[in-house]
Structure 1
Amino acid sequence: MIRRYNRGFLHSTPRTLILKALPCMSVHCFSSPEVSAADESQNLSWEKRRLTITPQIVHSTLLNCPSNLIALSFFLWCAKQPNYFHDVLAFDCMVNVLARLTKKYVTVRRIVGELENVGCVIKPQTFLLLLRIYWRGGLYGMVFETFEEMSTFGFTPNTFARNVIMDVLFKMGHVDAAIKFLKETQFRNFLTFNIALCNLCKLSDLSNMKDVSRRMFREGHYPNVKTLEIILNCFCKMGRLAEAYQVLCLMITLGISVSVNVWSILIDGFCRLRQPGMANCLFKKMLMTGCSPSVVIYTSLIKGFLDSQMVSTASSILNRMESDGYAPDLVLCNVLIDCLSKIGKYDDAFGIFVSLSERKLIPDSYTFCSLLSNICLSRRFSLLPKIASGVAVEVDLVVCNSLLNYFCKAGYPLHAVELYDYMLDRGFTPDKYSFVGLLGGLCGARRIDEAVNVYKGIIMYCPGVDAHVHTIIIDRLIRVGKYHRAIKLFRRALVEKYPLDVISYNVAIYGLLKSGKIREAFTLYSQMKEDGVLPNSWTYNLIISGFCKERDIKMVKQLMQEISEAGVELDHHTMNTVTKLLFNSHPYPSTLNQLIEMWNSGLIPDQAMYA
């Protein structure tokens, strides 16, 4: 240790070194009232001076430091000054400084050694600051190394250091290790649990979230408002509305004022799960508590009722909103255009677009996309020139993807292919919607070989694409009658374990049925359930219709039993097909008895019997 300090003093003291290197830093002197005028004219020693440090001065000094090592030593020196704390800007500046030092010296030990060489005294605070900088910069490997070096120097990591390590473990996906680290932390504090809960919410890890919450309450810590909102939002996104309601009750029990943001999260959660009635009840409760609604809440409610095709209720909510003095913004207008188009109210949706100029709202790319959706659904393609002239938007990826979709549905597949080439020339990075538009365009233009080659290139160079891309190529090939090729691609997707959903299976089953391969379709239906993908109403309607065409009454009854157990109702067309099959296969009294028996066992819904 003597050698270290002598070596530092041979060059200069830390204070002298820093001040020589930092000419831009202003120093203010303060004299004591007992000092005479003669004494004031003399040079005062450093012990009688006091530096006034401000964040602006520190940041300016860090930017003008002649070397990264001096910048780091100055940063550490400022942190040791009484009543001074670095702001976010200073830490952001130090992320780049420390990254360059790490690139030069490779290890934390060497960086610490260089700090000693310029006269810095290494203390626990030194490692804590290095840890925090690496943490902020996302240099997780160096975070672990800094943590280990603390112990090497004889310092015991405190709770803050352990909290940082736990957070990094969560962010790197090592959930079990992070939970273990939390449990092994001796002096857990509020921040310990808060970090864990926020990370678990991002990961939607419900089991660990509940365990950590219980542990937090047992140790006398309570989540703050922001954390409770994060938990609430997580439950709503997962569709766990009962748990979300419990969080609301907890907030009320703890005496926490329920903000408009909390009400908004809950109302939106119920609307997303197609329960607008419950959302409306919450809205009324919110009004009873004296909390004023926002345009965001009104937007969620209106969208929820429109998605449920309850147009009159949505209209009354919109009228109430306007009577309360809230004017619809562009987001709400875009939602109205989109939702009204989807439920077939094309003229009403177009009327909302026309009213934008009266409301002094400027249409954006989402307005244009919603209008394109309106045109595609209504098949009124002649409206496109009129809309294009009324919407002056910057061409971005969202607009291009909507145009790709429009060209495919309007019957202009070559236009879609040309637009995709234009997007690449303009430097756009295609996403899954772009790929879907391109594949649809190529298949629509009967450029099948090219479409298949493009698909293979996509899965090779963009391995993260979701089920939608795999489904679209199979669907488009089936539409143009290329059943064998479509099923071949689907089976390859199964072997390669690409992400496939219930729609993917349904499309493949439909292709097999269209090609007359009913047994293969049933085999795929069985494999689908084995793979953990639950059939939906479309699946059941497809497969039972196939066996009706084969006049396989035994399989039809077996499937009807499965449908009853799954609680799924068949559409009227399929039920009529089943009934017709039974009547054509058996004498009238026998068929009637079978239908009554199936109805009594719940295999046929009441409305089907009375249809």
Structure 2
Amino acid sequence: MSMLAQSKPISRRIYRLPFTGRHCHCDLENAAASVVSRAVSLLRAPSKQWDDEKLESLLLKGSPLSSDDFLQITLQLSSIPKSLQFLKFLTAKAPCHPSLSSVFQASLELASPHPNSLLRLHRFRTSTIPTLPLTSKSASLLFHCLENAQLVDDSLLLFNQLHPSAKSPQLCNGLLRMLLNSGRAGDAIHVLDEMPKQNSGLPATGEVVFGELIRKRRSFPDEEVVGLVTKLGECGVFPDAFKLTQLVSKLCGDRKIGVAWEVLHSVMRLGSAVEAASCNALLTGLGRQRDIKRMNELLAEMKERRIKPSVVTFGILVNHFCKAGRIDEALQVFDGMRGKGGSSRVGVEPDVVLFNTLIDGLCKAGREADGLSLLEEMKMGSKTRPNSVTYNCLIDGFCKAGNIDRAQELFRCMNEEGVRPNVVTLNVLVDGMCKHGRVHRAVELFNEMKGKGIEGNAATYTALISAFCGVNNIDKAMKCFEEMLSSGCSADAIVYYSLISGLSISGRMNDARVIVSKLKQAGFRLDRACYNVLISGFCKRKKLESVYELLNEMEETGVKPDTVTYNTLISFLGKTGDFATAGKVMEMMVKEGLKPSVVTYGAVIHAYCLKKHVDKGMKIFREMCSSSKVSPNTVIYNILIDALCKNNDVEKAASLMEEMKVKGVRPNTTTYNAILKGARDKKMLQKAFELMDKMVEDACRPDYITMEVLTEWLSAVGEIEKLKRFVEGYLVS
């Protein structure tokens, strides 16, 4: 009995322990819930009515509450001001309380729909409790807010304060995006260093970094671009083929070839597979810089790393060799690609673009025959058929070489083989015909092509208008211009300039004014050359007011006169006898930093001679020879010699011709004609014979003026035999 009696309490104690534990847990939960409820009730009162002692006793001195309890209390306040006041209360009463982080998180959650409130909480933390540890949720909310507000420095400072475990991939990527968007690649590299190395989010990080590098590459120093690519590569993260190609291509487009080279080689060195497309992008950039040495170096590396070149690779090489004028090397690449000349075949078939590139290069180098050979190869032994570009390159080559007949023959072959010509074909032929005197045939071809549905464009009309202006057929040029406008083609500046020049040279200054007005209405401005031709036209028509209007307009639009402008004005003023103004213009020219040219002096000397002031002309000539660095030319000597002869001073004219020879200026037929006329007028027959001998010695062929002077004179004095000997090239003295 005693054993049984003793055993019952023990037995009861053993079996009641689990139930007692469960009851204690429930009691604790109920107690915590009660405290949470009472705390929320107290905190909902206006802050001025808070019973601080009761709150402190309830929350900090009573039964310990968990961090989750504090989180729930704050969330149940449902008020940003209340949560902030609660945070301030706890900070003041217990600045090191472990649950402050939860209260701060809850406050951030309540404020998350309101960015300004989030920023206010962020500033409160940084100023009052900067060492407060942040939960992952708090860090995420704050970073999202700071990123939207573009507070880069605050974000970086916050990142540096975080525990490594809180630096999630999403958070790091957001910060990287913000830093790179602000051009702060150096700080971005620092963030990459701080990221956990075993980060499952690194591929996403790579997407962010490479995307921003492509978009904002110009904002970063060169070494930081390479540093970011290298840093990610060291973590095993590389740009895909498309992004790498895009980055290299854009860097080359920004003329940062060295950076592109480093980026590509960094990726290669760190073990990533590189495709031909990325190498092609770098080859293109190197080609633009004519850096053949590094192009060959990259090709050797491609071969070493077994990166198979594509047809684009060979196309880039051929294109840049052609542009550099190294046609034989382009042919070597082309033959090597096909396994010719002892090279091993690489298994890449040339496409039509590659054929066309090489044909165009050959034609531009004047090797049209080699281009034709490639055309025949395309027709006979290649899988690639010629297209309109192929024929256009060849037709253009033959047109530029002046072989218009061969170009037209190719045009016929093109049509016979079913290759449809286009507006480029038309323009190449029209331009070639116009430049080689076949304007009529160019117009016929234009009309034929229009009948086949191929309309011309601005280039077609420009070629025709320029050609008509070149042969002084201004009416046809104007008609072509009107047709151009009615067909819907917009005239470019070249068309307007050609018409203005042609009309001005023809003296049709009123029509030239009309074209100038249309040019301005089309949004173009007159250039210096155009002003010069207009000024020259108005000077020839003696429209001085119009000349001054143009000079004022030049000043207003900021177009400075050049030597041609001043020479035109000096020549005009001299011919009108206004030597005083001409002198002032010449002084103004020197003040503007423009040195008088041989044309300037020639204009002044010619003007004096026209007004029979030969002595003054000779004075300017002597000043020119002694004080200026401008040497007189044949034209100036001829002006003076002619004026001296007309002034019956043949001996002085002959002496000037001898001086001319001593100074290395070769007399021409015009020189001799002037003195022969003077000798005839003064009946200086023996002088004429001497001059005829000198013409033979100087290999100056007589022209119709020479023959007119001598035939009449020598026939009259019975010396026709000497004239025959002179014409046959024999001495007559």
SS at match of 2:395: helix
Q: Deviations over 1:210-235 (max 9, x none)?
A: 44444444353554323433333334
Q: Distance in 1 between matches of 2:424 and 2:535?
A: 33
CA contact (8 A) 2:439 2:464 kept: no
Please name the residue that 1:251 is paired with.
Answer: 378
Shift of 1:590: 6.9
Structure ID, larger Rg: 2
CA contact (8 A) 1:162 1:185 kept: no
Q: Distance in 2 between matches of 1:233 and 1:270?
A: 11
Please name the residue that 1:101 is paired with.
Answer: 220
Deviates more, 1:570-579 or 1:128-137: 570-579
Q: 1:587 to 1:276 in 2, by over 3 A?
A: same
Shift of 1:341: 1.9
Q: Distance in 1 between matches of 2:604 and 2:493?
A: 32
Q: Using CA pairs under 8 Å that are at least 6 residues apart, name the structure with larger relative contact order, 1 or 2.
A: 1
User: Aligned match of 1:181 in 297, 312, 324?
Assistant: 297
1:71-86 residue pairs with structure 2 within 5 A? 77=203
Please name the residue that 2:255 is paired with.
Answer: 138
Q: 1:18 to 1:371 in 2, by over 3 A?
A: same
Q: Distance in 2 between matches of 1:384 and 1:348?
A: 15
User: Aligned match of 2:430 in 278, 296, 302?
Assistant: 302
Shift of 1:167: 4.7
Please name the residue that 1:277 is paired with.
Answer: 405
1:447-462 residue pairs with structure 2 within 5 A? 447-452=585-590, 454=592
Shift of 1:236: 3.6
Please name the residue that 1:172 is paired with.
Answer: 289
SS at match of 1:121: coil
Q: Distance in 1 between matches of 2:201 and 2:594?
A: 53
The amino acid of 2:435's aligned partner reads D
Deviates more, 1:259-268 or 1:483-492: 483-492
Q: Distance in 2 between matches of 1:16 and 1:125?
A: 21
Q: Distance in 1 between matches of 2:201 and 2:374?
A: 42
Please name the residue that 2:554 is paired with.
Answer: 420
User: Aligned match of 1:196 in 317, 323, 329?
Assistant: 317
CA contact (8 A) 1:159 1:185 kept: no
Q: Deviations over 1:385-414 (max 9, x none)?
A: 444566663343466642443223432654
Q: Deviations over 1:268-304 (max 9, x none)?
A: 3333343322222222111111223323333333343
Q: 1:518 to 1:202 in 2, by over 3 A?
A: farther
- Where do 5+ consecutive residues of structure 1 fail to align? 1-7, 24-60, 458-471, 493-504, 527-539, 564-569, 599-611
Shift of 1:255: 3.9
SS at match of 2:220: helix
Q: 1:185 to 1:165 in 2, by over 3 A?
A: same
Q: Distance in 2 between matches of 1:357 and 1:10?
A: 71
Q: Deviations over 1:66-87 (max 9, x none)?
A: 9657699899936989xxxx9x
Please name the residue that 1:242 is paired with.
Answer: 369
Q: Distance in 1 between matches of 2:626 and 2:165?
A: 75
Shift of 1:379: 1.3
1:72-471 residue pairs with structure 2 within 5 A? 77=203, 94-95=213-214, 97-102=216-221, 106=223, 110-111=227-228, 115=232, 120-121=235-236, 131=248, 134-146=251-263, 167-175=284-292, 177-178=293-294, 181=297, 184-185=300-301, 187=303, 189=309, 190-217=311-338, 218=340, 219=343, 220=345, 221-253=348-380, 254-356=382-484, 358-359=486-487, 363-388=491-516, 393-397=521-525, 401-411=529-539, 414-424=548-558, 435=562, 438=565, 446=582, 447-452=585-590, 454=592
Q: 1:522 to 1:210 in 2, by over 3 A?
A: farther
SS at match of 2:521: coil
Shift of 1:558: 6.9
SS at match of 2:472: coil
CA contact (8 A) 2:327 2:361 kept: no
CA contact (8 A) 2:426 2:456 kept: no
Deviates more, 1:178-187 or 1:256-265: 178-187
Please name the residue that 1:462 is paired with.
Answer: none
CA contact (8 A) 1:287 1:293 kept: yes
The amino acid of 1:206's aligned partner reads I
Q: 1:98 to 1:181 in 2, by over 3 A?
A: same
Q: Deviations over 1:457-481 (max 9, x none)?
A: 9xxxxxxxxxxxxxx9544543343
CA contact (8 A) 2:180 2:216 kept: no
CA contact (8 A) 2:244 2:278 kept: yes
Q: Deviations over 1:419-472 (max 9, x none)?
A: 432332xxx8x8xxx857655556557422443554659xxxxxxxxxxxxxx9
CA contact (8 A) 1:474 1:487 kept: no
Q: Distance in 2 between matches of 1:75 and 1:555?
A: 95
The amino acid of 1:423's aligned partner reads T
CA contact (8 A) 1:14 1:120 kept: no
Shift of 1:102: 2.2
The amino acid of 2:603's aligned partner reads R
Q: Distance in 2 between matches of 1:350 and 1:339?
A: 12
Shift of 1:349: 1.9
Query: Identity percentage over the alignment?
Result: 15
RMSD of aligned alpha carbons = 5.4
Shift of 1:343: 1.2
Q: Distance in 2 between matches of 1:240 and 1:277?
A: 17
Q: 1:110 to 1:306 in 2, by over 3 A?
A: closer
Q: 1:312 to 1:98 in 2, by over 3 A?
A: closer
Q: Distance in 2 between matches of 1:508 and 1:334?
A: 36
1:508-587 residue pairs with structure 2 within 5 A? 510-511=635-636, 543=668, 546=671
SS at match of 2:385: coil
CA contact (8 A) 1:22 1:65 kept: no
Shift of 1:372: 0.8
CA contact (8 A) 2:602 2:636 kept: yes
Q: 1:149 to 1:349 in 2, by over 3 A?
A: closer
TM-score normalised according to structure 2 size: 0.52
CA contact (8 A) 2:203 2:237 kept: no
Q: Distance in 2 between matches of 1:397 and 1:489?
A: 39
The amino acid of 2:355's aligned partner reads L
Q: Deviations over 1:532-560 (max 9, x none)?
A: xxxxxxxx9x7565577786778755765
Q: Deviations over 1:490-536 (max 9, x none)?
A: 978xxxxxxxxxxxx9x95545665677689779989xxxxxxxxxx
Q: 1:148 to 1:360 in 2, by over 3 A?
A: closer
Deviates more, 1:440-449 or 1:542-551: 542-551
Q: Deviations over 1:352-375 (max 9, x none)?
A: 334456545555544432321221
CA contact (8 A) 2:465 2:477 kept: yes
Please name the residue that 1:536 is paired with.
Answer: none
Q: Distance in 2 between matches of 1:94 and 1:197?
A: 31
Deviates more, 1:324-333 or 1:547-556: 547-556
CA contact (8 A) 1:512 1:520 kept: no
Q: Distance in 1 between matches of 2:400 and 2:449?
A: 20
1:582-593 residue pairs with structure 2 within 5 A? 592=724
Shift of 1:483: 6.4
